[in-house]
Amino acid sequence: MGNPIPKKNLVSVIIPAFNEAKTIGSVIDVAKSHPLVGEVIVVDDGSWDETARVAQLKGVEVCRLEKNSGKARAMEEGVRAASYRVIQFFDADLIGLTGEIITKIATPVLRGDTDMSVGICGRRTEFTNKYLLPYVLKLGGQRALTKELWYSVPEKNKHNFEIEMALNYFCDKNGFRRSFIIFPALGQVRKESKRGFFWGMYHRVFMYRDLILVTARLYIFDATHTFFRLAKKRMLKKMLARKYSNK
């Protein structure tokens, strides 16, 4: 069952967006009408379409970045503007977002059952959702988390799409708790559909590049560095113990 949600305990919904005028309106509508949402903040990441205007007409707070600075920078701007302790991110190009999805992602964090809840867009087959996703890296732009967890991520790791992997990694490393939920009916507009095949594929490749690089940096290099640092401490401790035991 979990703990009850304290009264007046709401979330700040943050929607980072770059050229998402065609889809952001429906995402805002669902979030704005939800009883657990205290405010909706759209961060326009240097769009050259009508993204900011659509958001303004919906009556939500809009933060505008002068130039396209990447997803992590837009998310950071939204966190700074957020009034509530629990923040909830949604991508601006979602298809199939419902109030029930917002509830299922936000509730575990609001109740204090976990520090971060990640909603994962379902894949096309039940086999993938049931047997593969639970055992691979749980990445998704739809997540609720505490501000404490957000600020536990070093600034150097808040870069473009790396932020999603960094949030998972530092959540575990710093002793926070996380959970994930798969939503088979939730999807996104493909980059190739939004930007054309060439530019869509170009941005997809760069996204995967970011994820591969941050995986190597965090899960291999950082883990290796931590191992040797702890081994060095243990060795020094043994040397000191041996030194004083011989006196």
Selection from 139, 11, 159 nearest residue 79 by Cα: 11
Selection from 68, 89, 212, 104 nearest residue 150 by Cα: 89
pLDDT at 129: 45
pLDDT at 58: 97
pLDDT range class, residue 203, cuts 50, 70, 90: low
pLDDT at 247 over 90: no
Query: pLDDT tens across 116-163, in order?
Result: 999 988 754 444 445 444 444 566 789 999 999 999 999 988 887 788
pLDDT at 5: 57
Query: pLDDT tens across 52-79, in order?
Result: 999 999 999 999 999 999 899 999 999 9
Range 196-219 average pLDDT: 66
Entry pTM: 0.77
- The C-alpha angle with vertex 202 and arms to 200 and 208, in degrees rounded to 5, equals 100
Domains of the chain, residue spans:
11-189, 191-247
**Among 58-62, 123-127, 171-175, 177-181, which stretch is predicted with the lowest mean pLDDT?**
123-127
DSSP state of 94: E
Instruction: Please indicate whether residue 213 or residue 78 has the higher confidence score (pLDDT).
Output: 78
pLDDT at 125: 44
**Among 95-99, 213-217, 227-231, which stretch is predicted with the lowest mean pLDDT?**
227-231
Mean pLDDT across the chain: 82
Range 17-36 average pLDDT: 96
SS3 sequence, 17-74?
ECCCCCCHHHHHHHHHCCCCEEEEEEEEECCCCCHHHHHHHCCCEEEEECCCCCHHHH
pLDDT range class, residue 188, cuts 50, 70, 90: confident
Return the CATH class of domain 11-189. alpha beta
Neighbouring CB atoms inside 10 A of 69's CB total 17
What gap in Å lies between CA 87 and CA 29, rounded to an integer?
18
Instruction: Please indicate whether residue 108 or residue 70 has the higher confidence score (pLDDT).
Output: 108
Query: pLDDT tens across 91-101, in order?
Result: 999 999 999 99
In whole angstroms, how far apart are CA 204 and each of 17, 36, 161, 193, 215? 16, 33, 11, 12, 17
pLDDT at 17: 95
DSSP state of 234: H
Instruction: Please indicate whether residue 179 or residue 127 has the higher confidence score (pLDDT).
Output: 179
What gap in Å lies between CA 9 and CA 160, rounded to an integer?
30
pLDDT at 162: 80
SS3 111: coil
